[in-house]
Amino acid sequence: MKIALFAGDGIGPEVIAQAVRVLRALDLPGLSLTEGLVGAAAWRATGHPLPNETLAIARASDAILFGAVGDFGCDHLERHLRPEQAILGLRRELGLFANLRPAKAIPALVGNSALRPEVAAAIDLLIVRELNGDVYFGEKGRRATSAGLRQGYDLMAYDEAEVSRIARTAFEAARRRQGRLCSVDKANVLETSQLWRDVVIEVAADYPEVELEHMYVDNAAMQLVRAPGAFDVIVTGNLFGDILSDQASMCVGSIGLLASASLNEGGQGLYEPIHGSAPDIAGQGVANPLATILSAAMMLRHSLDSGAAADRIEAAVATALDHGARTRDLGGTLETEAMGDAVLAALEQQGSLAA
């Protein structure tokens, strides 16, 4: 199990440290961890947010456990040198096209959701977000208008192969779950979305057992608040998926709880919490490490063929929360390491029960 550890910036090193503690506690055979620099930390050390040395480590790994990138002190840099280019570069260079972001209600934390408890309790969905296209990777720049005004532009584009690939990933996921897929677009306005919808319909012919519906993104945002339990799997583009998955995290209760996987066609994946680098709390020891720990569980399940170990981690997190463990974002007082301690204690208790 060759795992690359890219802690990154802000709270990244703090939350990655707790996930590593949990991985080591599982005593997995053949576990190999190799660290690399990304983001602002890499730029300060090497002059680039994704150094060649880091990229080589990523390519040689079975999976990547990623913390976060982002630093306000780098806002003055040219765009290609900003910390966020590390994650975009890894997606591009490794062909990480499918982002899986599960959002599921945790019984002990239903009260933390901004939604009514009975609404929040029904949440069990998966957002499948396309990662290699859309405005994030399209042509972009600035120019002058005919009136001499500054204008910024970003090209939103998808080709049918990109849409077909992510659609099949989503249909496969829906087939393993409840058999319902909602494709989210803006086909009433965007030609990109009309192509998206056309191709998704074509792919659906190969999955007659999956129920397909289409929804405009503005309506999807409303339905995630009104009736999130109605969703099983959502498939959408890069921009819409970025926004909707963050919204889903707050429906569950905290962005500090949600993990994600970014996969390529070979099964190699990058796993990261969906929260950012949170520079406002970096170094204070108060960040919630659970999303990173749960990302490690996703890594074991999707890239390292260790579903049983993933189940153990997820059960330990649930037990810790059931016993009242709470970081500040969840209304508690535990610091980052103490929350890691709570998860480790739950893992140890599993061993005692098994004995």
| Predicted confidence (pLDDT) per residue in 229-286, tens digit | 999 999 999 999 999 988 998 898 878 888 999 999 998 999 999 889 999 999 999 9
Which SS3 state, helix, strand or coil, does residue 50 take?
A: coil
Q: pLDDT per residue over 202-219, tens digit each?
A: 999 999 999 999 999 999
Lowest mean pLDDT among 55-59, 106-110, 173-177: 106-110
**Confidence category of residue 353, pLDDT binned at 50, 70, 90:** low
Extended beta strands in the chain, E state: 2-8, 32-35, 63-68, 98-104, 124-130, 140-144, 150-154, 180-185, 211-216, 233-236, 259-263, 269-273
Q: pLDDT per residue over 39-55, tens digit each?
A: 999 999 999 999 999 99
pLDDT at 19 over 50: yes
- How far is Cα 55 from Cα 61, in angstroms, rounded to an integer? 10
Which SS3 state, helix, strand or coil, does residue 271 take?
A: strand
Extended beta strands in 37-139, E state: 63-68, 98-104, 124-130
* Contact in structure between 347 and 333 (CB atoms under 8 Å): no
- How far is Cα 44 from Cα 81, in angstroms, rounded to an integer? 11
Q: Indicate whether 136 and 248 sit together in one domain.
A: yes
Over the chain, what is the mean pLDDT?
94
* 50 to 41, 90, 349, 355: CA distances (angstroms): 10, 8, 40, 46
- Among 251, 203, 184, which residue's Cα sits nearest to residue 224? 251
Number of domains in the chain: 2
What's the token pair of residue 233? 């799997």
Question: pTM for the complete prediction?
Answer: 0.88
Strands 269-273 and 63-68: parallel
C-alpha 171: how far from chain center: 19
CATH number at residue 187: 3.40.718.10
What's the token pair of residue 190? 């965007």
Task: Please tell me the predicted confidence (pLDDT) of residue 130.
Answer: 96
259 in any annotated domain: no
Q: Indicate whether 145 and 231 sit together in one domain.
A: yes
- How far is Cα 270 from Cα 62, in angstroms, rounded to an integer? 9
Task: Please tell me the predicted confidence (pLDDT) of residue 352.
Answer: 59
Q: Indicate whether 136 and 230 sit together in one domain.
A: yes
pLDDT at 81 over 70: yes
Mean pLDDT across 125-133 = 95
Q: Indicate whether 120 and 241 sit together in one domain.
A: yes
Q: Indicate whether 333 and 223 sit together in one domain.
A: no
pLDDT at 220 over 50: yes
261 in any annotated domain: no
Q: Indicate whether 159 and 93 sit together in one domain.
A: no
pLDDT at 355 over 50: no
Q: What is the identity of the amino acid at 172?
A: E
**pLDDT > 70 fraction of the chain, expressed in percent and rounded:** 99
**186 Cβ contact list (under 8 Å, min separation 6):** 193, 216, 217, 218, 240
Q: Indicate whether 277 and 248 sit together in one domain.
A: no
pLDDT at 323 over 50: yes
**Confidence category of residue 137, pLDDT binned at 50, 70, 90:** confident
Among 252, 279, 310, residue at a domain's last position: 252
Among 252, 284, 311, residue at a domain's last position: 252
* Contact in structure between 99 and 128 (CB atoms under 8 Å): yes
* Contact in structure between 2 and 61 (CB atoms under 8 Å): yes
Q: Indicate whether 124 and 224 sit together in one domain.
A: yes
203 in any annotated domain: yes
| DSSP assigned state of 104 | E
Mean pLDDT across 22-46 = 96
334 - beta bridge partners?
327
106 in any annotated domain: no
Q: Indicate whether 123 and 21 sit together in one domain.
A: no
Task: Please tell me the predicted confidence (pLDDT) of residue 111.
Answer: 87
340 in any annotated domain: yes
Instruction: Scan for tokens 């190799």, then name that residue.
Output: 34
Among 252, 283, 310, residue at a domain's last position: 252
Q: Which residues are catalytic?
A: 136, 186, 218, 242, 246
Which has more confidence, 6 or 106?
6
